[in-house]
Structure 1
Amino acid sequence: MAKLCIIKPNPSTYSETFIQSHVDFLPMEKKILYGGVFPLYKEDGSFLIPTFWGIASYLFQKRALKKRDIPVRTKALVSYLRKEKVDVVLAEYGTTGAMVAEACKLADVPLVIHFHGADAHHHSTINEYQDWYRRAFQYASTIIGVSNDMINSLQRLGAPREKLVLNPYGINTERFAPAHENTNRSNSFLFVGRFVSKKSPQTTIKAFYEVLKRSPEARLIMAGGGPLLEESKTLTQELGIADKVNFPGVLPSDEISQLLKQSCCFVQHSVTPPDGDMEGTPNTILEAAAAALPVVSTRHAGIKEAVIEGKTGYLVDEYDTTGMAEKMVAILSSPEQAAEMGREGRKHIMQNYTLSDRIARLNAILEEAIAKKHNHS
């Protein structure tokens, strides 16, 4: 069995279910490294750099000299890849791929770089890593994007078109299956995600405020955490709708699944903020559609592909508060049509976004990278 090394920035985080699915389901023998854009730790928490003096040298160069190219850690990664006889590296996030490309090249191990969102769009990230990206693009076997917008952005950044592959996220359609045929869902709208600028939770709240003027019985549940959570709570108080909006915090997957089954519609007003950050293909929108919920969202990144406008939900322009409110009212006004959109949404997910299909595609990409290397040896 081929040996895969997955290199990721974080040990684990609730908002990176897509990376965890790679760890859990890719059918290869796996080694995991983590600890920032360049890995510092092995899966057991021990240091990748094996000696005290090596670690001290790394910390001095990073913190005191502010260096990015640090030979001692590159050498440690090269040694690890050779010792473990790794067949292919999957770098989660473009920034990680950029930083480990040189070590992969020295170890003669194929590299697949998986971009996810901000790494392909965020202005300051691109400015910081642009030269590193170009070098990594030259060595990488394959560069993966999760939406057509992302593929286009990566091509503009210098990724060769022949190396770019579209592979959106997949989800467990059984976990998020609808409980039963239901045209009498509640009047609750649901948002699940991080409270950050690119998800613009305040715009969703403002749209819901307009909805309440026509449908005072409506409710909004906003699950998740993040830097804009308190600001969002304050906005509901200022608008006088705090009693109509519930903020349950970060919830486990099974509780989110239950909320999806009980809600009438999933709402997310994704935007491109001034810093250029963008979504990839939001997992929560895929999960909502799999649960047969109509989606009201924006014409943004991979959402344009995940939601078929007018068939599985409604899309509005970014920052169009009035348009979003109108589409939310339309959902409430026609439960039968909303239910039909939900059925079509689940069908769309089953055809294009199942976890098994997307993992199989990613595995094929990794196997192709290994085969290419052997053919050139």
Structure 2
Amino acid sequence: MSLNREPVSSLGEPRVLYVVWELGNVSETFLTQTAKRLPLDVRVHEWLATPKEPQPGSHNILERVWRRLSPRPSKNTNADRAQNRFREQLAATEADTVLVDTGPLAMLVATVCKELSIPLCVRFHGVDAYATRLTGEGGNNYRDVFQSAQSIIGVSRHMCEQLKQVGAPDEKIRYSAYFVDPTLFDTSGINTEAIRFLAVGRLVEKKAPLVTLMAFRRALEQCPDIRLMIIGDGPMEQACRQFIRASRMSHAVELAGPLPHETVAEFMSASDVFVQHSVAGTDNDHEGTPVGILEAQISGLPVVSTRHAGIPDVVKEGVTGFLVDEFDVNGMAQHMITLAQSPGLAQQMGAASREIVSSEFSFDNTLGKLARILTEAAKVPSGDQRKRL
């Protein structure tokens, strides 16, 4: 895939083949930014770009992933063709190391990398590190990946501990946080007349949108002028609409559906407080570090969220926002009331949010650390030890 690359920072950097399921979706903006901004010689390989049979009735990426992981009677499968195509791009790029996003994709890539003695780095993102249906019992599905990978990357400290629990060797685990582009997000002043709350994310179990709505309903009773916009769609959308209607909140809550990234940034700059009630879902599904929270903070918004997975890494309690335990509806509602009734505090926390995220989660810090991990991996094995393609 051809990308408008940012200038690299140095000469002689390792050649990295960055393997992803696909780019181009609104939800994959972070992956595209990684490919463009990583200060190394990067080429991208999109696994799902492989020609495949029609799959009527679903465009869900997880279902498409499972089709490729499912055993098939014929040797001429999509997975076989995808691996051959991957080999061809390895030959074309002469990669020094491979960076793979998500554990399931690493399961497909690891065999080829091991065979050709090309160092493999695997970055986990959320569900792939936690959900038993993906990790297998005790991490059994990832055993070969953990054994052959040079580095195993978690995007939160909580995830790094989780990876250790499912069998990743401690000495291979690296922490490399997400990042946010400050140039895409602007700040706005607090609206002292009607505080505008914003939530962004898929309407799925681990985002717990109904819990957010329950908390907002209680806050609305105390602060009748506040408003809430929820951006995103998902399987819980109809349940959310029913709850809003049954709670007589249609005048105060808007479900905006999925929006382009640029439009989301505009709504963030026009909002006052970001809310997200993340919880552990069925099958132990967890967040990684929600990019939406980082984007809200760089927009100068205080955050009300939960002590869940990587969120405490990026939200400093009492400084950039408030955190509650999972399913603490009353606690979340009270913090929403506090910020609605104290616009000065909200503005102070929002300013701290932008300052801290600009410093700690900048391109230089986060992608610089990832580049160092990949550069170190590229040294093992050395070029003269590597099998030629």
Q: TM-score, normalised by structure 1?
A: 0.88
Equivalent of 1:85, from 87, 94, 98? 94
1:360–1:239 distance in 2 versus 1, CA, 3 Å: same
Structure 1 position 374, deviation (Å): 1.5
Single out whichever of 109-118 and 349-358 deviates more from structure 2: 349-358
**In the alignment, what sits opposite 1:47?**
none
CA-to-partner distance for each residue in 1:299-345, whole Å, 9 max, x for gaps?
00111111111111000110111111011000011111111111111
Matched, 1:260 2:272: no
Structure 1 position 189, deviation (Å): 0.4
Structure 1 position 230, deviation (Å): 2.0
> In the aligned structure 2, how far is the partner of 1:259 from the partner of 1:365?
35
Secondary structure at the counterpart of residue 91 of structure 1: strand
Q: Is the 8 A contact 1:221 1:245 kept in 2?
A: yes
Q: What amino acid is aligned across from residue 16 of structure 1 in structure 2?
A: E
Secondary structure at the counterpart of residue 113 of structure 1: strand
Equivalent of 2:43, from 28, 31, 34? 31
CA-to-partner distance for each residue in 1:248-280, whole Å, 9 max, x for gaps?
221222222221222120000000012210000
1:340–1:106 distance in 2 versus 1, CA, 3 Å: same
Q: What amino acid is aligned across from residue 356 of structure 1 in structure 2?
A: D
**In the alignment, what sits opposite 1:13?**
25
Single out whichever of 127-136 and 150-159 deviates more from structure 2: 127-136
Matches within 5 A, 1:271-290: 271-290=279-298
> In the aligned structure 1, how far is the partner of 2:75 from the partner of 2:206?
30
1:82–1:209 distance in 2 versus 1, CA, 3 Å: same
Matched, 1:157 2:157: no
Structure 2 unaligned runs (5+)? 1-11, 53-66
Matches within 5 A, 1:1-377: 1=12, 2-35=14-47, 40=50, 62-64=71-73, 74=83, 76-127=85-136, 130-179=139-188, 182=190, 184=192, 186-374=194-382, 377=385
Q: What amino acid is aligned across from residue 358 of structure 2 in structure 1?
A: M
Q: What amino acid is aligned across from residue 254 of structure 1 in structure 2?
A: E
1:108–1:355 distance in 2 versus 1, CA, 3 Å: same
Q: What amino acid is aligned across from residue 31 of structure 1 in structure 2?
A: R
Q: Is the 8 A contact 1:203 1:319 kept in 2?
A: yes
Single out whichever of 138-147 and 181-190 deviates more from structure 2: 181-190
> In the aligned structure 2, how far is the partner of 1:232 from the partner of 1:252?
21
1:298–1:94 distance in 2 versus 1, CA, 3 Å: same
Q: What amino acid is aligned across from residue 375 of structure 2 in structure 1?
A: E
Q: Is the 8 A contact 2:193 2:225 kept in 1?
A: no
Q: RMSD over aligned Cα, in angstroms?
A: 2.6
> In the aligned structure 2, how far is the partner of 1:172 from the partner of 1:155?
30
**In the alignment, what sits opposite 2:63?**
none
Secondary structure at the counterpart of residue 174 of structure 2: strand
1:74–1:132 distance in 2 versus 1, CA, 3 Å: farther
1:184–1:227 distance in 2 versus 1, CA, 3 Å: same
> In the aligned structure 2, how far is the partner of 1:94 from the partner of 1:185?
47
> In the aligned structure 1, how far is the partner of 2:154 from the partner of 2:211?
27
1:333–1:362 distance in 2 versus 1, CA, 3 Å: same
Secondary structure at the counterpart of residue 42 of structure 2: strand
> In the aligned structure 1, how far is the partner of 2:381 from the partner of 2:331?
51
Total equivalences in the alignment:
358
Q: What amino acid is aligned across from residue 23 of structure 1 in structure 2?
A: A
Q: Is the 8 A contact 1:170 1:354 kept in 2?
A: yes
> In the aligned structure 1, how far is the partner of 2:277 from the partner of 2:254?
17
Q: Is the 8 A contact 2:130 2:285 kept in 1?
A: yes
1:127–1:217 distance in 2 versus 1, CA, 3 Å: same
> In the aligned structure 2, how far is the partner of 1:376 from the partner of 1:343?
52
Q: Is the 8 A contact 1:170 1:356 kept in 2?
A: no
Q: Is the 8 A contact 2:215 2:330 kept in 1?
A: yes
Q: Determine what percentage of the aligned residue pairs are the same residue.
A: 34
CA-to-partner distance for each residue in 1:41-71, whole Å, 9 max, x for gaps?
69xxxxxxxxxxxxxxx99x94446999976
1:183–1:245 distance in 2 versus 1, CA, 3 Å: closer
Q: Is the 8 A contact 2:17 2:93 kept in 1?
A: no
Structure 1 position 186, deviation (Å): 4.4
> In the aligned structure 2, how far is the partner of 1:262 from the partner of 1:109?
47
